[in-house]
Amino acid sequence: MTIDRLPVTIVTGFLGAGKTTLLRHLLSQGEQRLAVIVNEFGTVGLDGDLFKSCGFCPENEIEERIVELNNGCLCCTVQDDFLPAMEALISRPGQLDGIIIETSGLALPKPLLQALNWPAIRSNVFVNGVVTLVDGYALANGSPVGDIENINQQRLNDENIDHFNSINDLFKDQLISADIVLISRSDLISKNDLSLLVEKLKIDTNSAANILPISNGIIEPSLILGISSKEHNIAQTDEHEHEHEHEHEHIHVVSEHLRLELKVDKNNLKEILIGLVPEFQILRIKGRCWIEGKALPLQIQMVGPRFNSWFELANNDAWKPSKAGIDLVFLSLRKGASQSLKSALV
């Protein structure tokens, strides 16, 4: 028996960076059945109320799909709060398409990533990505935080916090853990200042992470939530390769689809895909790999260089090669990822 793993997206960033605005957009426009774990200590009930009012789910499901954890910084209360909340959400198979975690601005992402490997939950979830929001307007004016006094007060009020990193160290930790960095309030920054800001952020960011400007929390949901099964199934109606380009809020995204029948080695495929990420600025990859001799196809999910894979039964209507092959969808900022993979494999 196989289990459909739930994608877990961690959204981090300081208070005021725009996490709640982004999540309201994703919840209302993402067309997925999502649950949200909210941990914004010091704003008890506020974020939860904002999510409840955006109409992302039926009223009778709200209490089950919005989990508010207000006992302090989530990375410091993992065992007491986070793990029980996750166990409760994954105990309802087939009712959710994914889970979003909105962390406190003071949270360190790494303890949460480690917690997702907890034995009770790791076989039911995968890391769909760590998204760090940066207040572009504040950073362009010399500070990673728009309201430093509010952040310091939040730190003083949290009795459970067990790390005392400086604001700059916290900021760097959030950046280095990110698969995608979003620069909020980018509409308030000149193009020249935005370019300088991107170059500055690259210094402290994972070298393969993509840095994208947004305003008013608006971004194509699939870039953050991943390529949905619906989108992947649409791609599967094509016979071979599919390309689509669209402009969205300053972001030019290329969608490509590659399907090939050939012998595939998992480790070789993983190495090639990770190598393509910086070259084509790949945001997302989703699909399957059929390995000769294996009863089940290998499910592949990537955000930037973060590679997740596991064997899972495919839908009855999914394309299948006669012996072995791949069926992958790419979302990138540069065209050519699918053709480059094809050239590397054939």
Is the pLDDT at 47 greater than 90? The verdict is no
- Do 130 and 269 sit in the same domain of this protein? no
Mind listing the pLDDT tens digit for each residue in 320-333? 999 999 999 999 99
Count CB neighbours of 340 within 10 A.
15
Predicted pLDDT at 229: 58
Q: What's the domain range around 61?
A: 6-223
Q: Report residue 37 as tokens.
A: 């774990």
* pLDDT: which is higher, 209 or 156: 209
Model pTM? 0.85
What is the C-alpha separation between 168 and 154, in angstroms, rounded? 16
Per-residue tokens: 172: 């760097």
**Cβ neighbours for 1, distance < 8 A, ≥ 6 positions apart:** none
Q: Which residues pair with 253 in a beta bridge?
A: 246
| 266 and 133, same domain (yes or no) | no
DSSP class of 215? B
For strand 98-102 and strand 125-135, is the pairing parallel, antiparallel, or unpaired? unpaired
242 shares a domain with 106:
no
pLDDT confidence of residue 281: 93
Instruction: Judge whether residue 203 has pLDDT over 80.
Output: yes
Q: What is the pLDDT of residue 242?
A: 42
pLDDT of residue 245: 47
CATH of the domain at 324: 3.30.1220.10
Residue 164, token pair as written in the block: 């005392």
Q: What region does 313 belong to: left with phi over 0, alpha with psi -120 to 50, or beta?
A: beta
Number of domains in the chain: 2
The domain boundary residue, chosen from 207, 223, 239: 223
